[in-house]
Structures are given as structure tokens and as C-alpha cells.
Chains A and B, each alone.
Chain A
Amino acid sequence: AIQLTQSPSSLSASVGDRVTITCRASQGISSALAWYQQKPGKAPKLLIYDASSLESGVPSRFSGSGSGTDFTLTISSLQPEDFATYYCQQFNSYPLQLTFGGGTKVEIK
């Protein structure tokens, strides 16, 4: 089974900072990775799919990169509304399994 390991598990940053979150897969998954943002008490929201494709309506300060086993989510200039928890996700067909990373909580410094 493919595991996804996110780092860091939490970080403190200031408005305007550049923030990078890493997701590492236990085996190669091409670019088949998605990123979600979740705020307290709310459902997750899709940000990025296929590792680097920005979902419609998501601000361009969010970007994703990577392939194989190493992926990053970058927020180029952190905004107040970006303080949330971020999850990566992959779906493997054989064996059929969908996995989320453990999450990265972005907090205000």
C-alpha cells in the first residue's frame, strides 16, 4: 500500500510569507496527486490536481509541483484566509486504494 508522508506536520508563518509543504509517496505515483485545504468545521476544498493543475477559482498564489515520489504545495504570499490544514491525496488502481497524507496545519506566527 502506498503511504503519503507530509512535512512539516505544522508550521507558523506570517502574512506575506512564502510557504512550502512537502508530500512524499512511498513509491512512484507519476503526477497523480491532489492537494486540499480544510478550515475548521468545514469540508476539504480542492486546490490542485494532477500535481500541478490549479482548480478553477483557486487563487494563483497556490501552486503545485513534483512527480514520482516527491511533491510540493507552495503558497507564494500567505494571506489571512490561507491559515488552514492542507492534505495531499493519491489514488492507486492496483490494489485499489485512496490515501491522504497526514496533513499540515498552517498557523499564524
Chain B
Amino acid sequence: QVQLVQSGAEVKKPGASVKVSCKASGYTFTGYYMHWVRQAPGQGLEWMGRINPNSGGTNYAQKFQGRVTMTRDTSISTAYMELSRLRSDDTAVYYCARDQTGTTDYYYYYYMDVWGKGTTVTVSS
């Protein structure tokens, strides 16, 4: 079955970096983009960016440009999201999610069909 397994919870100090992993199984890892989405406590969902596991190409949300790095290791079907210069407002649950893209005659549509369970990152001094 298709599955995304994320790494465990992290506690970091302000100014540090965190690297979260997302191991894919049950499908061809390089065939689907991977998104990263975060959710602060009691808040909504926020898109951080995506990676093309085949090429390694990335697209980041403007808010995170310069602070986020998404990478992958195709040999172990794992995607990574590293966030640097952590602040207290980076405390959140971080999710990876597999992209699905569809097309009609007139437009493309994109959605996320499989999600990891989330990784809690706490930033506290």
C-alpha cells in the first residue's frame, strides 16, 4: 500500500535548523512530486513547497525562500525538508504529501492524495 513515513518529533532552539524526512513506499518515488505542508497549533494548513524527486528540482513558497531546502535520496525513496534559522513561530506539525496532477482539455489540476502522519517540530529556548 502507498505510504509516507515521517521522522520523529524534534525539539530545537531558536536559530537552529531541523531536517525532517519522509520515506515513500508502495509506489514509484520518482514518479510524483512531493509537497511539504505545515500546520501551527490551532491554525490552518500552509504550503511550504514541493520537490520533483526525479530531477531534484524544487519550488518554494515565497515566505520560506532562503530558509527552506528540499532534497531527496532516490536510492532510499526518501524526501527531506530542512528549515533553518528557526523561530518560535516555526513550531508546527510538518507534513509531506504526494502530488497528483490531472489534466483536462483546458487546464491542469493538482491535489495531494497521500499524506504522512506529520512530524511535530517544537522551537523553544
Contacts and interface: CB of A to CB of B under 8 A. Distances in A.
Answer yes or no: are A and B bound together in one complex.
yes
A43 B115 CA distance: 7
A98 B110 CA distance: 9
A83 interface: no
A49 B109 contact: yes
Interface in A80-109: 87, 89, 91, 93, 96-103
B103 to A, nearest CB: 10
Interface in A44-101: 44-46, 49-50, 55, 87, 89, 91, 93, 96-101
A32 interface: yes
A96 B59 contact: yes
Contacts of B113: 46, 49, 55
Contacts of B104: 30-31, 50
Contacts of A100: 37, 44-47
A102 B97 CA distance: 19
B45 A32 contact: no
Contacts of B44: 87, 100-103
B1 to A, nearest CB: 12
A32 B117 contact: no
Most buried by A among B47, B111, B116: B111
Contacts of A21: none
